[in-house]
Structure 1
Amino acid sequence: MNCLWCDADIVPDTSWRNIILVSKPKNLCPSCTDQLTVLQGKRCVKCSRLSEKEMCPDCMHWERSLSQEDPLTWNYSVFSYNEAMKEMITRWKYRGDYCLGKAFEMEYRKAFKRNFSFLPKEAVAVPIPLSEERMHERGFNQSKMLASFLPLKRKDILTRIHGEKQSKKTRRQRVTAVNPFQMKGSINNPVILADDIYTTGTTLRHAATALKKHGCPAVYALTLIRG
């Protein structure tokens, strides 16, 4: 098997443990794996930003600025947004290398098992949708791929109005943006939103607001990266 990033041969681990347990083959070679940084240490309980304080300044601002209870219970992010990850995301998300997304499956699934085992069996994964125009441009929705890694039923209940790319917006533009999400129907299941990156939290809170207004009892998020 070859590394999905650098195409180097991946030598399988033939230890007795792996032979007996039949572990899933890795999609990145050790060198490429080492370039990615899994978030570790103290982090904000709301947004997963590395922080010595229980809640980071950004989330404290959200708490003060929201006129009602925060629709997003909390977010958990897996990786930091270092240079290696930025390059991988560019190739995966913007250049259409769909298979590269499989490189993140193992850590994404582990993060779910470690942090969301308390969820009831009726919980569902809801991917952050792309607009029809953006979907046509990219060819696939990276958030839907992430949702497929989770051992939950997927529910594509959100739609998105087309607008300027999030990556092109300033922080202020993101925070003050109009909610672009609409619902296809009601929902009474707890939800985990699947998305690739948490930057300001606006996208996830907009999605959570739409879900809550249509019956969702609780909304969490599992994002690949904390920007």
Structure 2
Amino acid sequence: MRPLKESLNLCGDCFAWRERLDGRDPLKRNMSIFTYNEFMKEIMTLFKYRGDYELIYVFKEEIKQTFVSLKDFAIVPIPLSEERFNERGFNQAEAIASLAGEKILNLLKRTSSEKQSKKTKQERIFSTNPFELTQLPPKKVLLVDDLYTTGTTLRQAAQLLTDSGAEVIQSFTLIRS
């Protein structure tokens, strides 16, 4: 959802990932509704870190409209570590996915509790895959998360799903940095 490199019909981020992964990006595309700015930063702080779960309903209509065109995808939220879930009391990606009105599949489990927000861009990009599968994936998967920063988390999940038989993986994030 960044400006496209016209000759490739790709955004700069997707182009960089394709280069980094020798042309084998497991994520077909990411869709985001909002851009990360000071206002969205404050909203996410209240939502994620101060536990104001009700804020997610502000975005309900935009989220539902986006999911209309993705009806044939299985919706898979990015999981939190058990530690992070216990701190927050909810998974923000599941909260977003629940507004789509579709069945959510919890196919992934996080095996690491390391905070992405504490890492540099390079540390994020080259981090070890923190996910494992709980069951085999369907052919078409839509990964859901709150914020797309470097794309590493989504690509790590997508790679695991691809390696396990998923054929098309796209992602949806509420916000794009």
TM-score by length of 1: 0.73
User: 2:143 matched to 1:193?
Assistant: yes
For 1:51-130, what aligned pairs fall within 5 Å after superposition? 51=4, 53=6, 54-67=9-22, 69-113=24-68, 116-117=69-70, 120=72, 123-130=73-80
Residue 86 of structure 2 is matched in structure 1 by 136
1:142-166 deviation line (CA, Å, top 9, x unaligned):
0001111114321001000223211
What residue ranges of structure 2 are gaps of 5+ in the alignment?
none
Tell me, in whole angstroms, the C-alpha distance in 2 between the residues paired with 1:69 and 1:84: 35
Structure with greater strand percent: 2
Following superposition of structure 1 onto structure 2, how do residues 202-217 of structure 1 map, counting pairs within 5 Å?
Answer: 202-217=152-167
Question: By how many angstroms is 1:180 displaced?
Answer: 0.3
Aligned equivalents of 2:77, 2:148: Cα separation in 1: 13
Higher relative contact order (CA 8 A, sep 6+): 2
Distance change >3 Å, CA 61–CA 95, structure 1 → 2: same
Secondary structure of 2:10's match? coil
Q: CA deviation at 1:88?
A: 0.5
With over 3 angstroms needed to count, the CA separation of the structure-2 counterparts of 1:181 and 1:213, relative to structure 1, is same
- CA shift at 1:59, angstroms? 1.9
Distance in 2 of aligned mates of 1:153 and 1:56: 30
Structure 1 Cα separation of the partners of residues 13 and 173 of structure 2: 17
Distance 1:148 1:217 in 2: 23
Question: Which position in structure 2 is the counterpart of 1:19?
Answer: none
Q: Which residue of 1 aligns with 2:112?
A: 162
User: Does the Cα contact within 8 Å between 1:185 and 1:214 map onto a contact in 2?
Assistant: no
In our comparison, the structure showing a higher alpha carbon Rg is: 1
Q: Deviations over 1:42-72 (max 9, x none)?
A: xxxxxx1134643233322211121462111
TM-score (ref. length: structure 2): 0.92
Residue 99 (structure 2) aligned to one of 128, 149, 162: 149
What secondary structure does 1:195 align onto?
Answer: strand
Pairwise CA distance, 1:99? 0.9
Distance 1:81 1:162, change over 3 A: same
Report if the CA contact (8 A) 1:134-1:162 is conserved. Answer: no
